[in-house]
Amino acid sequence: QDDCSEFRSQFEAGGRLSCTRENDPVRDASGKQHTNKCLMCADKFKKEAQRGQYGGTGQRNRLPTSERTNQ
């Protein structure tokens, strides 16, 4: 299980997370190696945002129901 809770409050909508480039290799649940834990979590957040979780672009671009019915 990836524990990215320490970075969740730092990421922006769209899955952006500012990370250092320190070399502390870590593997995610799928076995993919990342330079460090922050970069692993940034990749995870980006994928979540693309799926429309956590206020990503999939949710942000949808009109509220009331506006959709008036068009």
pLDDT score recorded for residue 15: 61
pTM above 0.85, yes or no: no
Residue pLDDT, tens place only, 11-66: 776 667 889 889 999 999 899 999 999 999 999 888 888 887 555 444 444 444 44
pLDDT score recorded for residue 39: 93
Phi, psi of 34, deg, nearest 5:
-125, 155
Residue 68: both structure tokens together = 């959709």
- What dotted CATH number matches 4-53? 3.30.60.30
Q: Domain extents for the chain? A: 4-53
Cβ neighbours of 40 (radius 10 Å)? 22
